[in-house]
Amino acid sequence: HVTLKVSGMTCGACSSTVEAALSRAEGVQRASVSCVTHLAVVEGVVQAADLVEVVDAVGFDAVVDEVREVAEEGGEEVVVEVKVSGMTCTACSGTIERHLQSLSGVREATVSLVLGKAFVVLAPDGRRTPEDVAEEIELVGFDAEVALVQRGAAAAGRAFLTVRVEADQMVAATAAALSTEGVLAVSPAADQRLSITYDPRRQGARRLLAILAKAHGAVHTAATPDEGLHEAHARDLRRDLVRAAGPALLVLAVAFVAPAAGVQRAVWGSLGRPYVGNLDLLTLALFGLATPVQLVFGWRFHVAAAKALRRKSPNMDVLVSTATGIAYTYSAAILCICLLSPLSDHSAQMAVATVHFFAMCPVLITVVLMGKFLEARAKVQAVASVAALSSAGAATAVLVQGDEEVEVAVELVEVGDVLRLSAGMTVPVDAQVVSDEFVTVNESVLTGESTAITKTIRDSVLSGSSCVSGNCLIRATRVGSCTTLGQIVQLVQDAQASKAEVQRVADRVARVFVPTVLLLAVLTFLVWIALVQSGAVDPCSYQADDHMDCVDGGDLSFRLLFAMKFGMAVLMVACPCAMGLATPMAVMVATGVAARRGCLVKSAGALEAGARLDAIVLDKTGTITVGEPEVREVAVVPGALGAAGLEKAWEDHWRTMQVVSPVRTVACGDGDRAAVEAFFWWAVGTAEAASEHPLGRCLLRQASDVVGLPPIVPPSDYEYSGGRGVKCSLPLDGGVAARIGNVRFWEEHVSHRSSDLDKWVQGWQARGHTVVVLHVGGVTVGAAALQDAVREDAAAVVEHLQQTLGCEVWLCTGDNTATAQAIANEVGISNVVSEALPATKAECVQQLQRGACGRRSRVCFVGDGINDSPALATADVGVAIGAGAQVALDAADVVLVGSDLSDFATFLSLCRATMRTIALNFFWAFCFNFVMLPVAAGVFFPAVHIPPLVAGIGMAASSCLVVCCSLLLQRFSPPMLMHGSGQRRGGRWRVPVVDPSAFGRPQTDAVLLLASE
C-alpha cells in the first residue's frame, strides 16, 4: 500500500491522467488519485520508486509519502449494504442505527427507513463481518439480509453476472467464484442461480463465465427481477386489507352506521334477543367478526409492537396494538362476565354497551391497514424514478467478433469489446466511436435535454442514450456500475440514503414521541376516571354520541369504558410516522426528479444548503461561457527569433519555408513575419500538446490545422502553473525553454515588451477576449486572442439568481481584469474577481463565507471541474457543470451532466421547492399531532371531541398526506427565465433573445479583498 504526494495536479483531468497511468503499471491492483488532497493511493505488488517514475513520465512530480505492507485479507475497510425488513417508522431506523454505531469494529452506520437498507462501514481489522452486522440487526428485532459487500474502493467499479448451476454444484461453484481474481461477492438467488459481483477492471464477464462453465457447468441466465421492498410491503398490506375489509365493513354497518341512522336493536328481531346467557346473536356475531381481524390480520401490529418494546424503542405499532389490544381484551372480558352472569337487564345492557368498544378494534385495524397500504403505494411511486433510470439501459448488445456479429446479454460485455450500434438501439455501455461514420444519439435519459447530438470517430457515447440514426462501431470503455448510467443510479441512491440536518432533528423528536404519547394516554385515562368517579362528569349525559344504550351511571365497568374512550383516542391520533417521513420522502422524490433532468445531487444536505444560499460564485470558462474557445487573431513580433538566437536553428528545422494559417495574423513591428509565424504555431502546438485546459486544447487544435509546420511532438520538462500557463522545453537546438500563458504570466517573466504588442493585447482584452502570449528565452514571440462565446442563457440565469432568488452573484476567473469585466458587463454581474488562481478561487469562497462583504454568507461555487476542485470543495454547495461522463467528480456536491447554465437555476428552484415541501410536511405532522392530541384527550370536551374511530382515520390520513405532499414534487417544472422579451424554461428559448444591452445593469463593481493581495 503506497501513498504518493503528487504536485502539479489542478483538476480532475490531471488526477485521471495520473490514475490511468498508475493503473496500467505492472503489479498495480488498484490506484486512486485525488486532485483535492493531491494524494495517490496504490495497492499491489509494486515498488514505490517505480510508481514515482510512472508519475514523472506523465508530467507530474511525486514523492513517497507512506509505504506499508497490507495483509491479503482484512487490509481494507468493508462497506456492507444490508436489506432490513420490519421497520415502520423512524423510531425503528433510529434504534438500529444507534445500536450499530455502538458496536466495536463499526466505523460508520446509516439506516434509511425509506430505502429499507442499512449502510455500514466496517474497520479493516476483521473484528466484525457482514454476517455479524445482519445478526446484530436481528437481535434488536428486525429481519436482515446482507445484500452487498464491497472492499475498499471496489464500489468504484463493479459489475454483475448471474449464472445457473445444478443444485449439487452450488457450494462448489460459490467457492470457485470467490477464489477467482476480481470477484467481490457471490450470493445465491432463486432457482439455483448465483449472483456474482466482480470488478470489471480486473476480470471479464465472459472469462469468468468460461471458468465456472468448465468446472461446474454454469450457464449464463438473466437476473431475477428483484422485487423492491416497497412493492413487497404494499402487496402484503393489500392482501391483509382485502381480507379484513369484509368483516370490518359489516361491523361498521351494524355497530356504528345503523345506530347513527336511528335503527334500534329491536329492529333486528330475534338477533337482538338474548341467546346465550345475557348475550344476543348480534353481539356474538360482531364478536366473531372482530376476533379474526384483531388476532389474524392485525397480528403484524402486535408482533411489531412486541419487538419494539423488547428493544426499548416504542413506535407507532405500539400505539395501535396498545389501543386495540386493551379495548378488545377488556371488552372480551366484560362479555365473558356477562355470559357467565345470571340473566338480568343490567348484564344485557352492559354487553350491548361493550359491543361499541370491541367493534372499534377491527375498524381501526382496517383503517390503519388502508393508510399503510396507501403510504406504501405512494412510496413505490416515489422510488419509480430510480427504477426508471435503472431500466433505461439496454438488455442486449451486438458483439463484433471478426467478420461475425453476435447478440449477447449486456452483462457479458467486457471492456475493450467492439460493438455494433445502429439506429433504434440503446447504447449498452459507455463506449467510444471507432469507425469513421456518423451517428445521432439522444441523451435525454442522462441530461434531460432531448436535442439529438451527432457523434463521429473518437467521440464518446454514454450508456442509456438512444441511437436516433446512423450506424457505427463502438469500443466499450466502461461496463457495469462504472458506466455513466450506473454511476448516476448509485449517486441517486446514495443521496436518498443520506440525511439532512432537519431530518436529524425530527429523528430526535420521534425518539421520545411515542413514550410521551403513551404517558399522555395513561394520564388522560386517569384524569377522566377521576372526574367520573368524583361525579364531576356524568357518562350517561354523553353516551348518545357513542350510540350506546344507557347503563347505570354508577356501574364501574361503564365508567372505565367511558374513560378508556379518551385514552384510546390519544393513542390512535398520534402519528410518529408522519414526522419520520417528512424529510426522506421529499428528498427521495426530489433526487429522482433532479436525476431525470440531468442534475445529480449527492446528498440531502446539498438540497438543504441549496435552498438557503446567499452568494453564488461563478467561474467563467465553461460556466458562463461555452468552454469551446476559438482563436480570433494572432499577432507575432518580427525579429523575435533573432533576438532569441533561434533564427538559424529554426531555419534548419523548418524545411517548407511557407505556412498557411486559417487564422488572421498581424505583425507588431517591421520585418518578415513568415518564419516567426511558423515558429509561433509550432511552439504553441508543442507546448500545449499535453494540456487539458480548454484554451490549451483550442490552441493545439488550431496549430494542427496550420499547413506547412514541422511535426508537433509532446514537450519535455513540462510544468503547469495553475491560473497562469505552461513552462516547457521545446525540442529545438538541444532544448529551448518556452512559456505560454496569460498576460500576467507574460508580465512576470518578460520585462521588455513590444509597445505595439501591448496595444494589440489591450485592444482585444477590452473587447472581452482572452489573450495568450508565447515567450521564449525572455523574448516575446507572439500572442493569440481567443474568444469563448457567452452561453445564450447566462444573462437570463444571472438575472434570475439576482432578482428572483435574491442571491449575490460573483464572477471569479483567472482571466485578466479587462476581459473579466467585459464578460461580467455582458451578463449583468457587478462583482468581479479577476486573475484568480485555483487557490484564490477557494479563498474567494472563504472570504464570502466569513462575511467579507458585511455579513456571513452561505456560498455556492459553480465551475466546470477544471482548476475548480479546491473551490468546489470549500463552498457550502459545489456544483460542477457540463460533467458529461465524469458524474462522480469527488469535489462537487452536485453534478450537472449537461452544459446549460439554466440547469443550475433549475437545481436551485428544486432545492427551494423541496424545502418548502419538507416544511409543509412538518407543518402537517407537527400541527396534526400537537393540535389533535389535546382534542383527543378531551381538553375541549364536550364542545369538541374525537372518538377513537375518527382518531384512527386521522392518524392514517396524516402519514398519507405527508407522502402525497412529497409526491407533488414530481410535478415540478423548471423556472421560467426572463431575458429582455425572451422566455426560457428547461433549456429552450420561447422568444428570440435580445441584445443584453437592452436592459440596464448595475455598473458599480464590488471589490473583494483577498488575503493573498
Q: In terms of pLDDT, which residue wins out, 577 or 950?
A: 950
- Cβ atoms of residues 328 and 289 within 8 Å: no
Rounded CA separation 575/1007 (Å): 53
Query: Which stretch of 251-255, 540-544, 1005-1009 has the lowest confidence by average pLDDT?
Result: 1005-1009
- Determine the pLDDT at residue 1012: 33
- What is the DSSP secondary-structure string of 842-869? HHHHHHHHHTTTSS---EEEEE-SSS-H
Q: In the predicted model, is pLDDT for residue 553 greater than 90?
A: no
Q: What's the pLDDT tens digit per position in 902-937?
A: 889 999 999 999 999 988 888 887 777 778 888 888
- Determine the pLDDT at residue 782: 92
Residue carrying C-alpha cell 379474526: 292
Q: Residue 1013: pLDDT band by 50, 70, 90 thresholds? A: very low
- Determine the pLDDT at residue 437: 84
Q: Residue 10: pLDDT band by 50, 70, 90 thresholds? A: very low
- At 197, give phi and psi (nearest 5°): -105, 125
- Determine the pLDDT at residue 494: 67
- Determine the pLDDT at residue 353: 56
Query: Which stretch of 41-45, 456-460, 639-643 has the lowest confidence by average pLDDT?
Result: 41-45
- Determine the pLDDT at residue 991: 32
- Cβ atoms of residues 617 and 844 within 8 Å: yes
- Determine the pLDDT at residue 115: 66
∠ CA(499), CA(505), CA(506), 5° rounding?
Answer: 85
- Determine the pLDDT at residue 481: 77
Average pLDDT over residues 978-990: 48
- pTM more than 0.75: no
Nearest CA to 774 among 703, 722, 867? 703
* C-alpha R_g of the chain: 36
Rounded CA separation 124/77 (Å): 4
- At 157, give phi and psi (nearest 5°): -150, 105
- Determine the pLDDT at residue 384: 60
- Determine the pLDDT at residue 634: 92
- Cβ atoms of residues 298 and 365 within 8 Å: yes
- What is the DSSP secondary-structure string of 651-670? HHH--S---B-SS-EEESSS
What's the maximum distance between 2 C-alpha atoms anywhere in the chain? 130
- Determine the pLDDT at residue 885: 45
- Cβ atoms of residues 23 and 40 within 8 Å: no
Supply the mean pLDDT for the chain. Answer: 77
Q: How far is CA 37 from CA 5, 10, 32, 870, in A?
A: 9, 11, 11, 9
Q: In the predicted model, is pLDDT for residue 783 greater than 90?
A: yes
Q: What's the pLDDT tens digit per position in 219-277?
A: 888 765 555 556 777 788 888 888 888 888 888 777 767 666 666 555 555 555 666 66
Per-position b or e across 152-164, b if 16+ CB within 10 A of its CB: bbbbbbbbbbbbb
Q: In the predicted model, is pLDDT for residue 554 greater than 60?
A: no
Half-sphere exposure at residue 802, Cβ-oriented, CA atoms within 13 angstroms: 20
**Bridge-partner residues for 599, per DSSP?**
896
Q: In the predicted model, is pLDDT for residue 888 greater than 50?
A: no
Query: Which stretch of 84-93, 239-248, 969-978, 998-1007 has the lowest confidence by average pLDDT?
Result: 998-1007
Query: Which stretch of 10-14, 192-196, 275-279 has the lowest confidence by average pLDDT?
Result: 10-14
Cβ count near 131 (within 10 Å): 12
* 621's grid cell: 470558462
Please name the residues in contact with 532: beta carbons below 8 A apart, sequence gap of 6 or more. Answer: 539, 559, 562, 563
What length is written for the chain? Answer: 1013
Q: What's the pLDDT tens digit per position in 691-708?
A: 777 788 889 888 888 888
Q: In terms of pLDDT, which residue wins out, 51 or 58?
A: 51
- What is the DSSP secondary-structure string of 305-361? HHHHHHTT---HHHHHHHHHHHHHHHHHHHHHHHHHSPS-HHHHHHHHHHHHHHHHH
- Determine the pLDDT at residue 936: 86
Q: In the predicted model, is pLDDT for residue 651 greater than 90?
A: no
Q: In terms of pLDDT, which residue wins out, 779 or 111?
A: 779
Rounded CA separation 432/549 (Å): 81
Q: Collapse the DSSP code of 817 into the 3-class scheme (helix H, G, I; strand E, B; otherwise coil) and give the result.
A: helix
What percent of the chain lies above the pLDDT cut of 70?
A: 78
Question: In angstroms, how far is the first alpha carbon of the chain from the final one?
Answer: 41
Q: Residue 37: pLDDT band by 50, 70, 90 thresholds? A: very low
Characterize the bridge pairing of strands 219-220 and 274-276.
unpaired
Q: Residue 617: pLDDT band by 50, 70, 90 thresholds? A: very high
Average pLDDT over residues 520-542: 82
Region of 412 on the Ramachandran plot (φ > 0 left; ψ -120 to 50 alpha; else beta)? alpha
Q: How far is CA 565 from CA 50, 332, 524, 539, 561, in A?
A: 79, 16, 10, 11, 6
The DSSP letter of residue 991 is S
Q: What's the pLDDT tens digit per position in 654-685?
A: 766 677 788 888 888 887 788 888 899 999 99
Q: In the predicted model, is pLDDT for residue 22 greater than 60?
A: yes
Q: In the predicted model, is pLDDT for residue 131 greater than 70?
A: yes
Average pLDDT over residues 163-180: 84
Rounded CA separation 660/663 (Å): 9
Q: In the predicted model, is pLDDT for residue 863 greater than 80?
A: yes
- Determine the pLDDT at residue 503: 66
Spatial strand order of the sheet with 143-151 comes to: 106-112, 117-122, 78-85, 143-151
Q: In terms of pLDDT, which residue wins out, 993 or 985?
A: 985
Query: Which stretch of 390-394, 875-879, 957-961, 1003-1007 has the lowest confidence by average pLDDT?
Result: 1003-1007
Rounded CA separation 356/367 (Å): 16
Rounded CA separation 901/743 (Å): 28
- Determine the pLDDT at residue 518: 86
- Determine the pLDDT at residue 1004: 34
Please report, to the nearest 10 degrees, the dihedral formed by the alpha carbons of residues 596, 601, 605, 609 taken in order. -90
Q: How far is CA 611 from CA 602, 915, 919, 923, 974, in A?
A: 15, 7, 12, 18, 15
Instruction: Give rounded-to-5 percent helix, strand, coil for the chain.
Output: 50, 20, 30
- Cβ atoms of residues 443 and 403 within 8 Å: no
Nearest CA to 494 among 779, 156, 769, 237? 156
* 861's grid cell: 461555487
The dihedral built from the CA positions of residue 958, 959, 962 and 963, taken in this order, carries a sign that is negative
Q: Residue 992: pLDDT band by 50, 70, 90 thresholds? A: very low
Cβ count near 180 (within 10 Å): 17
- Looking at 705-783, list the stretches that DSSP marks H as alpha helix, in order from N- to C-terminal side: 743-749, 755-766
